[in-house]
Amino acid sequence: MDLLLITGAGASRELGKPDDPLPLMPDWANALCTALDDEEPSLAAKCGLSEGMGGEQFEEALGLLLRWEQIKYLNSRYAGLTNDPGHFQTLDAQATTRLGTIRRVIDQTLYAQFGQHRVDDERATLAYKALLERLDVDQLVLATTNYDRACEAALSRLGRKPDAGFRSDDSESVPKLQVAGLVASARERGSTACLHLHGAVGWYQKDGVVYDFRSGHEYNETLGTPVVLYPDPLKDPTSDAHVAALWEEFRFALTDADHVLVLGHSLHDPALVNAIRSAKPKKLAVTNMITANDGGEQRAWMGEQLPEAIPMMIDFGPNMRVEEAAVETFVG
């Protein structure tokens, strides 16, 4: 089978340590709230964040905060519209200082939650091995919206030579991202293209170049700016040129693959869903987890987003279970 595998947070959940699963968005929200309040009492609430938030609520709140940060430079331009421009600018400077702290904490918790130290390589390998063998996958392209790199660790152990697009030469020890033609070139070399559609831990941008410093280390602001699309229901994949190039490769893979499987993704991502709809894959399946408490609601939502897809229940992990009838329909 020629397969494009698209993974979301649910696909990584069981690939952590046996007693420490990889986080979902609510888990990151809780960790972020705790870290923000450790910096300053009630700082999380001032950001519109609270412990116990659902994943969609978290994405909306964090997205709104970071979109405000992007246009906050306009405050000084229009300070004269207030009754006390000097006082307004003082308050704006205070907010700018706090935003610097907030940004640092966001990135620190991102790395703490999704770094390679959270991944159990053996469990990840068992899970991907079981899935690829059950689907009898020959050629594979993997696209993920996850920040973790469990897929790369697993594919490397399986001998599938993951290629996220980084290249190095004799003069540099840290590889640089070169995306153009990644899917086609990986196939020619017998490698597996891994498209991190939202960026990944370990990626830093400096002077217009993206470097891979691996993901097992803590966040290090001296290395540059993290290359990730932060949670936001309105996130724009074209907002970062390097991520935009990855999405071009993703669109190519969508039209090129015989089979497309969406694994462990909620589909609360308009950019992703629209790309799949536009490509009209030859054969498409969408999964949710067998053990999900709201499996019925989730399946209904997926059916609304991608009505042409074959619904498939998979409990993805080192002890994978599948809905055999749906798999046969997809593979056949």
Domains and CATH numbers, the chain: 2-20+119-198+235-331 (3.40.50), 25-116 (no CATH)
Burial class (CB in 10 A: 0-12, 13-18, 19+), 98: middle
pLDDT for the residue numbered 171: 63
pLDDT for the residue numbered 170: 65
Say which DSSP state 135 is in.
T
Closest CA to 250 of 232, 266, 273: 273
Question: Is residue 292 pLDDT above 60, yes or no?
Answer: no
On average, the pLDDT of the chain sits at: 92
Question: Is residue 108 pLDDT above 90, yes or no?
Answer: yes
The better pLDDT of the pair 289, 259 is held by 259
Give the pLDDT band of residue 239 (cuts 50, 70, 90).
confident
Q: Are 55 and 25 in contact (CB under 8 A)?
A: yes
Question: Is residue 276 pLDDT above 60, yes or no?
Answer: yes
pLDDT for the residue numbered 302: 79
**b/e for 242-257, b at 16 or more Cβ within 10 A?**
bbebbbbbbebbbebb
Burial class (CB in 10 A: 0-12, 13-18, 19+), 241: exposed
pLDDT in tens, 81-104: 889 989 988 988 999 999 999 999
- Measured between alpha carbons, how far is 179 from 195 in angstroms, rounded to an integer? 9
